[in-house]
Chains A and B, each alone.
Chain A
Amino acid sequence: GENVEQHPSTLSVQEGDSAVIKCTYSDSASNYFPWYKQELGKRPQLIIDIRSNVGEKKDQRIAVTLNKTAKHFSLHITETQPEDSAVYFCAATLSGSARQLTFGSGTQLTVLP
Protein backbone atom coordinates (compact mmCIF):
# COMPACT_ATOMS: atom_id res chain seq x y z
CA GLY A 1 0.00 0.00 0.00
CA GLU A 2 0.84 3.67 -0.07
CA ASN A 3 3.23 5.14 2.54
CA VAL A 4 3.56 8.89 3.06
CA GLU A 5 6.41 10.46 5.01
CA GLN A 6 6.21 14.09 6.11
CA HIS A 7 8.98 16.42 7.32
CA PRO A 8 9.63 18.26 9.50
CA SER A 9 7.42 17.22 12.39
CA THR A 10 7.70 20.70 13.93
CA LEU A 11 8.54 24.03 12.30
CA SER A 12 8.85 27.48 13.82
CA VAL A 13 9.14 30.59 11.67
CA GLN A 14 9.05 34.32 12.27
CA GLU A 15 5.95 36.15 11.14
CA GLY A 16 6.40 37.24 7.55
CA ASP A 17 8.88 34.48 6.68
CA SER A 18 8.12 31.53 4.44
CA ALA A 19 7.45 27.96 5.56
CA VAL A 20 8.00 24.77 3.56
CA ILE A 21 6.70 21.31 4.46
CA LYS A 22 7.77 18.28 2.43
CA CYS A 23 6.19 14.90 1.82
CA THR A 24 7.33 11.81 -0.02
CA TYR A 25 5.14 8.95 -1.16
CA SER A 26 5.93 5.39 -2.11
CA ASP A 27 3.37 4.38 -4.75
CA SER A 28 4.20 5.84 -8.15
CA ALA A 29 0.58 5.28 -9.23
CA SER A 30 -0.73 7.91 -6.77
CA ASN A 31 -2.01 10.99 -8.55
CA TYR A 32 -3.98 13.06 -6.02
CA PHE A 33 -2.24 14.97 -3.24
CA PRO A 34 -4.30 17.11 -0.83
CA TRP A 35 -3.11 19.19 2.11
CA TYR A 36 -5.18 19.62 5.26
CA LYS A 37 -4.84 22.21 8.02
CA GLN A 38 -5.91 21.43 11.57
CA GLU A 39 -6.09 24.27 14.06
CA LEU A 40 -5.86 23.47 17.74
CA GLY A 41 -8.97 21.65 18.89
CA LYS A 42 -10.57 21.80 15.45
CA ARG A 43 -11.21 19.36 12.64
CA PRO A 44 -8.88 19.02 9.61
CA GLN A 45 -9.88 21.14 6.62
CA LEU A 46 -8.66 20.97 3.05
CA ILE A 47 -6.56 23.99 2.10
CA ILE A 48 -5.16 23.01 -1.29
CA ASP A 49 -4.72 19.95 -3.46
CA ILE A 50 -2.83 19.00 -6.60
CA ARG A 51 -3.26 16.32 -9.22
CA SER A 52 -0.39 14.75 -11.10
CA ASN A 53 -1.17 16.45 -14.39
CA VAL A 54 0.21 19.72 -12.99
CA GLY A 55 3.49 20.54 -11.28
CA GLU A 56 2.44 23.53 -9.21
CA LYS A 57 -0.73 25.12 -7.89
CA LYS A 58 -1.14 28.41 -6.04
CA ASP A 59 -3.88 29.93 -3.94
CA GLN A 60 -2.95 33.33 -2.56
CA ARG A 61 -0.17 32.76 0.00
CA ILE A 62 -0.08 28.99 -0.28
CA ALA A 63 1.29 26.85 -3.07
CA VAL A 64 1.94 23.18 -3.62
CA THR A 65 4.58 21.70 -5.90
CA LEU A 66 4.78 18.14 -7.14
CA ASN A 67 7.73 16.18 -8.49
CA LYS A 68 6.37 12.86 -9.76
CA THR A 69 9.76 11.56 -10.79
CA ALA A 70 11.13 11.96 -7.29
CA LYS A 71 7.77 11.11 -5.70
CA HIS A 72 7.64 14.13 -3.47
CA PHE A 73 5.42 17.16 -3.03
CA SER A 74 5.71 20.26 -0.89
CA LEU A 75 3.54 22.92 0.71
CA HIS A 76 4.83 26.49 0.60
CA ILE A 77 3.36 29.25 2.74
CA THR A 78 4.64 32.77 2.10
CA GLU A 79 4.32 35.83 4.32
CA THR A 80 3.31 33.70 7.27
CA GLN A 81 0.86 35.08 9.81
CA PRO A 82 0.00 33.96 13.36
CA GLU A 83 -3.24 32.42 12.10
CA ASP A 84 -1.17 30.03 9.96
CA SER A 85 -0.10 28.29 13.18
CA ALA A 86 -1.63 24.81 13.01
CA VAL A 87 -0.88 21.19 12.20
CA TYR A 88 -0.61 20.50 8.48
CA PHE A 89 -1.16 17.05 6.97
CA CYS A 90 -0.27 15.90 3.49
CA ALA A 91 -1.96 12.91 1.88
CA ALA A 92 -1.78 10.80 -1.26
CA THR A 93 -3.97 8.40 -3.20
CA LEU A 94 -4.87 7.15 -6.65
CA SER A 95 -7.89 9.13 -7.79
CA GLY A 96 -10.86 7.06 -8.91
CA SER A 97 -9.36 3.77 -7.80
CA ALA A 98 -11.47 3.25 -4.67
CA ARG A 99 -8.26 3.27 -2.67
CA GLN A 100 -7.95 4.90 0.68
CA LEU A 101 -6.39 8.28 1.31
CA THR A 102 -3.07 7.87 3.17
CA PHE A 103 -1.99 10.75 5.41
CA GLY A 104 1.45 11.86 6.54
CA SER A 105 2.19 12.18 10.25
CA GLY A 106 1.68 15.95 10.35
CA THR A 107 3.76 19.10 10.84
CA GLN A 108 3.16 21.48 13.73
CA LEU A 109 3.79 24.95 12.33
CA THR A 110 4.26 27.79 14.79
CA VAL A 111 4.45 31.36 13.52
CA LEU A 112 6.22 33.55 16.04
CA PRO A 113 5.11 37.21 16.28
Chain B
Amino acid sequence: EAQVTQNPRYLITVTGKKLTVTCSQNMNHEYMSWYRQDPGLGLRQIYYSMNVEVTDKGDVPEGYKVSRKEKRNFPLILESPSPNQTSLYFCASGQGQGTDTQYFGPGTRLTVL
Protein backbone atom coordinates (compact mmCIF):
# COMPACT_ATOMS: atom_id res chain seq x y z
CA GLU B 1 0.00 0.00 0.00
CA ALA B 2 1.34 3.44 -0.97
CA GLN B 3 1.74 5.50 2.16
CA VAL B 4 3.63 8.00 4.25
CA THR B 5 4.36 6.92 7.81
CA GLN B 6 5.46 8.95 10.81
CA ASN B 7 6.69 7.90 14.22
CA PRO B 8 5.92 8.48 16.94
CA ARG B 9 2.30 9.55 16.59
CA TYR B 10 2.23 11.15 20.03
CA LEU B 11 5.12 12.44 22.10
CA ILE B 12 5.35 14.32 25.37
CA THR B 13 8.80 15.54 26.27
CA VAL B 14 10.59 18.17 28.33
CA THR B 15 12.40 21.31 27.31
CA GLY B 16 15.88 20.69 25.97
CA LYS B 17 15.64 16.93 25.43
CA LYS B 18 16.64 16.14 21.85
CA LEU B 19 14.11 14.24 19.81
CA THR B 20 13.64 12.89 16.30
CA VAL B 21 10.39 12.34 14.42
CA THR B 22 10.80 9.88 11.60
CA CYS B 23 9.06 10.06 8.22
CA SER B 24 9.14 7.40 5.55
CA GLN B 25 7.41 7.02 2.18
CA ASN B 26 7.24 4.01 -0.12
CA MET B 27 6.17 5.80 -3.31
CA ASN B 28 9.65 6.68 -4.59
CA HIS B 29 8.81 10.37 -4.38
CA GLU B 30 11.55 12.92 -4.91
CA TYR B 31 9.87 15.63 -2.83
CA MET B 32 9.37 15.48 0.92
CA SER B 33 8.38 18.17 3.37
CA TRP B 34 7.60 18.89 7.01
CA TYR B 35 4.76 21.12 8.18
CA ARG B 36 3.50 22.21 11.54
CA GLN B 37 -0.16 22.90 12.12
CA ASP B 38 -1.31 25.34 14.79
CA PRO B 39 -4.86 26.61 15.38
CA GLY B 40 -5.64 29.62 13.20
CA LEU B 41 -2.29 29.46 11.40
CA GLY B 42 -2.90 26.66 8.94
CA LEU B 43 -0.05 24.52 7.69
CA ARG B 44 3.34 26.19 7.83
CA GLN B 45 6.28 24.60 6.10
CA ILE B 46 9.36 23.91 8.20
CA TYR B 47 11.77 22.31 5.72
CA TYR B 48 11.49 20.59 2.38
CA SER B 49 13.67 18.40 0.23
CA MET B 50 13.71 18.06 -3.55
CA ASN B 51 15.86 14.93 -3.51
CA VAL B 52 18.57 13.07 -1.62
CA GLU B 53 21.04 15.46 0.05
CA VAL B 54 18.98 18.48 -1.10
CA THR B 55 17.10 20.36 1.63
CA ASP B 56 15.82 23.89 1.98
CA LYS B 57 14.18 26.06 4.60
CA GLY B 58 10.48 26.71 4.63
CA ASP B 59 8.69 29.48 6.49
CA VAL B 60 9.47 28.40 10.07
CA PRO B 61 12.80 26.53 10.17
CA GLU B 62 14.16 27.94 13.44
CA GLY B 63 14.79 25.25 16.04
CA TYR B 64 14.53 22.35 13.57
CA LYS B 65 16.95 20.26 11.53
CA VAL B 66 16.36 17.73 8.78
CA SER B 67 18.39 15.30 6.74
CA ARG B 68 17.76 13.41 3.50
CA LYS B 69 20.32 10.63 3.27
CA GLU B 70 17.93 8.22 1.58
CA LYS B 71 15.09 8.92 -0.82
CA ARG B 72 12.44 7.30 1.35
CA ASN B 73 13.31 8.90 4.72
CA PHE B 74 13.16 12.48 5.91
CA PRO B 75 13.56 12.75 9.70
CA LEU B 76 12.78 15.94 11.63
CA ILE B 77 15.18 16.69 14.46
CA LEU B 78 14.58 19.03 17.39
CA GLU B 79 17.98 19.49 19.04
CA SER B 80 16.66 21.44 22.03
CA PRO B 81 12.86 21.50 22.04
CA SER B 82 11.02 24.42 23.60
CA PRO B 83 7.35 24.81 24.61
CA ASN B 84 6.63 26.94 21.51
CA GLN B 85 7.35 23.87 19.42
CA THR B 86 4.30 22.15 20.86
CA SER B 87 2.28 21.46 17.75
CA LEU B 88 0.87 18.91 15.31
CA TYR B 89 3.50 17.92 12.76
CA PHE B 90 2.86 16.48 9.31
CA CYS B 91 5.29 14.95 6.89
CA ALA B 92 4.35 14.94 3.21
CA SER B 93 5.76 13.57 -0.02
CA GLY B 94 5.10 14.16 -3.69
CA GLN B 95 6.34 13.64 -7.20
CA GLY B 96 8.51 16.20 -8.90
CA GLN B 97 9.11 19.44 -7.08
CA GLY B 98 6.18 19.36 -4.71
CA THR B 99 3.72 20.96 -7.08
CA ASP B 100 1.88 17.78 -7.78
CA THR B 101 -0.34 16.04 -5.26
CA GLN B 102 1.25 15.94 -1.83
CA TYR B 103 0.53 12.89 0.31
CA PHE B 104 0.50 13.55 4.02
CA GLY B 105 1.49 11.27 6.85
CA PRO B 106 -0.86 10.67 9.80
CA GLY B 107 0.65 13.42 11.93
CA THR B 108 2.68 13.58 15.14
CA ARG B 109 1.29 15.45 18.09
CA LEU B 110 4.21 16.85 20.11
CA THR B 111 3.94 18.41 23.53
CA VAL B 112 7.00 20.09 25.05
CA LEU B 113 6.69 20.78 28.75
**Secondary structure type dominating chain A contacts:** loop
B99 engages A6 (CB within 8 Å): no
Contact B90 A100 (CB under 8 A): no
Question: Is there a chain B Cβ closer than 8 Å to A45's Cβ?
Answer: yes
- Interchain CA distance A96-B50 in the complex, whole Å: 11
- List residues of chain B with CB within 8 A of the CB of A9: 40
Contact with A along B35-54 (1 / 0, CB 8 A): 10000111111001010000
Smallest Cβ-Cβ distance to A91: which chain B residue:
B43
Q: CA separation between A93 and B33, bound complex, in Å? A: 14
- Are B42 and A6 in contact, CB atoms less than 8 angstroms apart? yes
Chain A residues near B101: list those with CB within 8 A. Answer: 34, 46, 49
Q: What total of chain B residues lie within 8 Å of the partner, measured CB to CB? A: 24
Contact partner, A43, options B33, B41, B90, B96, Cβ 8 Å? B90
Residues of A within 8 A of B50 (CB): 98
Closest to B101 in A: A46
The residues in B between 54 and 89 inclusive whose CB is less than 8 angstroms from any CB of A are: 56, 58-59
Which residues of A have CB within 8 Å of B56? 98, 100
Contact across chains for A103 and B40 when beta carbons are under 8 A apart: no
Quick one: given A43-B104, A43-B107, are A101 and B99 in contact (CB under 8 Å)?
Answer: yes
Residue A53 at the chain B interface, CB threshold 8 Å: no
Are A46 and B105 interface neighbours, CB within 8 A? Answer: no
Interface contact B43-A89, CB-CB below 8 Å: yes
A44 x B90 contact (CB < 8 A) = yes
A81 interface contact, C-beta 8 A:
no
Given A1, A96, A105, which contacts B97 in the complex, CB threshold below 8 Å? Answer: A96
What's the nearest-Cβ distance from chain A to residue B86, in Å? 18
Interface residues of A, Cβ cutoff 8 Å to B? 1, 6, 9, 32, 34, 43-46, 49, 89, 93-98, 100-106
